[in-house]
Structure 1
Amino acid sequence: MAGLLDFDTPIALLALLVLQYFPDTDEVTTLIRQYRQALPAGSVVVLSHVTGDDPAMPVAEATRLSQNTDNPTYARTRDEFAALFADALLIDPGIVFAQHWHPDSHNTDPEHTCVYTAATHARA
């Protein structure tokens, strides 16, 4: 694995639909902070997370059912998702549902996703 990433140039860290498998928000927040500090200047961290905040999506029942599996999920609210970024400044458009994060101009009626998405710069 050594040498696969060039830490002399910016890196994009994408943690997309992964963090909902980790129940402890404080541990995840610490992990994200450590990644941000380890990445070279100019890097970007993009996170997404399942949420039950979208009333159009029945996430609560799916999350409840997942608790009886080998890989339970933990839906976080907007505030809980925001906490993962700690004090980092978010890149526009901030925390939004995935369908509203840089939407394709041809997609005038994006479908609900029940997923929050946001990005920040490393070492901010």
Structure 2
Amino acid sequence: MLTEFGRFCRKLRIDNGELLKHMADKLGVTSSYLSAVENGKRNVPQDWVEKIANLYSLGTEEYSELKKAAQNSQKVVKLDFEGFDLEDKDTLLALARQFKDLTEDDKMLIKNILQKRKKGGIK
């Protein structure tokens, strides 16, 4: 099934009159690998958003759309625990393990806390 990232790339290719092979060649990968990424069988490589944005001279709005599509298409996320103490690691891992069991209210509460922090509302 085509991911959000896959739909973005397909539209980009059509708009530029390209085939899957052309984009794959530009990215330095095989057509089958690009297809696997677009269909969610492989994660979107971290450097592809920048590569695609540069290769196709994407504007700010298109770049944001591509970045969001790549993030929404990720199946696996890697966390860098460097600089975290053991208690913080345990907390993050517990959240990841138990997230699917949280209620929608709990998820919204966590999201609100994080958004307030981002906006500087919580010190």
* TM-score relative to the length of structure 1: 0.24
* Structure showing greater relative contact order (alpha-carbon pairs closer than 8 Å, 6 or more residues apart): 1
Name whichever structure is richer in strand by fraction.
Answer: 1
Name whichever structure is richer in helix by fraction.
Answer: 2
The structure with the largest alpha-carbon Rg is 2
* TM-score relative to the length of structure 2: 0.24
